[in-house]
Amino acid sequence: MNIEVIPTEVKGIKGFEIALIQHIFNTAKHSFNVHYNYEPYRDARKDLDPDIPHDIVGKHNKYEPIVAVRLALEYVDDRDIVGQKSPQEQEERKEFLISEGVEIHRQQYHHLMWASSSVKVPKDSRLLSGADAICSMLENRKYQGGVHSWEEIEKIIAANKIPYQRDWMKEVYDRMRKIPQPNLAAIKSLRQIPKSKEISTETHDIITGRAHEVLHQFEHDHCYNFYKNSESIIREILK
């Protein structure tokens, strides 16, 4: 079944608008968080990753409709997945679609580099992927087991059986523990994504601008209505 732009397996487009905007908003915060912990250490002379800013540009980015509508299902109640015969089937169907979105997204450059053991993988790619992995564990992603503490992340890193991933994550982890981390939970709207010396003004502006660009594109192409929606959570994020 094709749910590329409007998920026919979810009750009502109105409710799905909330899920979709939560996905887009949280992706913007994640992109900011990764750059906050990556940019101070990258090679400023060149951007080796073609999909920068992180996760929001390039083929198979998290805003691409085929990816976005699947990952947004994380914010949809299992009971709103229609066409399934039992609660267990509803849950399984949702998990399948989310994992499908994850796998499509993992075709991006930074995921391909993280999966490669080649010594030719640039240092910048290792740093970016290490920050991505740790930042994602600090966030509330249900498909990754929710929010992890620093102690839990340290144990996960130590248990990683892929040597280069373990070593690079440990390097990034040690750096992240030494600096104040952004309070993502306190960021309630796109406008509140802070400007910081750790992230370039250009990257910051692209992150916030891309979110609005994508929301307008969904409205124009696929009948969504974010900016006139009366739901408080949407008004809060867009204010």
**115-173 confidence digits (pLDDT tens):** 999 999 999 999 999 999 999 999 978 777 788 999 999 999 999 999 999 999 999 99
| pLDDT surpasses 90 at 20 | yes
Where do the domains of the chain lie? 13-238
Q: Rounded to a whole number, what is the distance in angstroms from the first to the last CA of the chain?
A: 35
Which pLDDT score, from 0 to 100, does residue 3 have? 44
pLDDT for residue 13: 64
| CA 78 distance to own-chain centroid | 21
Please give the Cα distance from 172 to 84 (Å, whole number).
43
Q: Please give the pLDDT value at position 1.
A: 34
> Which pTM does this prediction carry?
0.92
Least confident of 43-47, 92-96, 194-198, 211-215: 43-47
Whole-angstrom distance, CA of residue 151 vs CA of residue 162: 20
User: Residue 10's beta-bridge partner residues?
Assistant: 81
CA 236/CA 177 separation, integer angstroms: 31
Please report the pLDDT score of residue 4 as a whole number. Answer: 45
Q: Give the list of residues 6+ apart from residue 62 with CB closer than 8 angstroms, or none.
A: 23, 27, 55, 56, 68, 71, 105
Q: What is the mean pLDDT of residues 75-88?
A: 82
